[in-house]
Amino acid sequence: MTRRLISLAAGIMPEATPAQLIECAAASDFDFGGMWIEKDSWTPATTRAICEQARDAGVALLDCEVAWIMPGAPDPWLTELVHITAELGARNLLCVSSDPDMAATTAKFQALVDAAAGTGVRVNLEFGIFTEVKTIHMARAVLEAVEGEAKALLVDTLHWARSGGTAEDLAAIPREWLSYCQPCDAPADGPDTSNFDAIIDDAINRRMPLGQGGLPLAAMVDALPDHLPMAIEGRSATLRNAYPDLVERARKCARTSRAWLEGR
Q: Where are the domains of the chain?
A: 6-263
pLDDT bracket for residue 110 (50, 70, 90):
very high
Q: What is the pLDDT of residues 10-29, one digit of tens each?
A: 999 999 999 999 999 999 99
d(CA 220, CA 210): 12
Q: What is the pLDDT of residues 55-67, one digit of tens each?
A: 999 999 999 999 9
pLDDT of residue 9: 98
Answer whether residue 92 shows pLDDT above 90: yes
Q: How far apart are the first and last CA of the chain?
A: 10
pLDDT of residue 1: 56
Short-list 200, 206, 171, 169, CA closest to 187 = 206
d(CA 223, CA 44): 40
d(CA 251, CA 136): 32
DSSP at 214:
S
Query: What percent of the chain is modeled with pLDDT above 90?
Result: 98
d(CA 92, CA 232): 15
CB 74 within 8 A of CB 45: no
Residue type, 139: A
d(CA 98, CA 58): 35
d(CA 47, CA 37): 10
CB atoms within 10 A of CB 98: 13
SS3 259: helix
Short-list 236, 250, 242, CA closest to 207 = 236
The class level of CATH for 6-263 reads alpha beta
pLDDT of residue 264: 83
Average pLDDT value for residue range 173-187: 98
Looking at the DSSP bridge assignments, the partners of residue 61 are 33
CB 98 within 8 A of CB 107: no
pLDDT of residue 64: 98
Provide DSSP, 90-112.
Answer: -SEEEEEE--S-HHHHHHHHHHH
CB atoms within 10 A of CB 199: 19
pLDDT, greater one: 3 or 97: 97
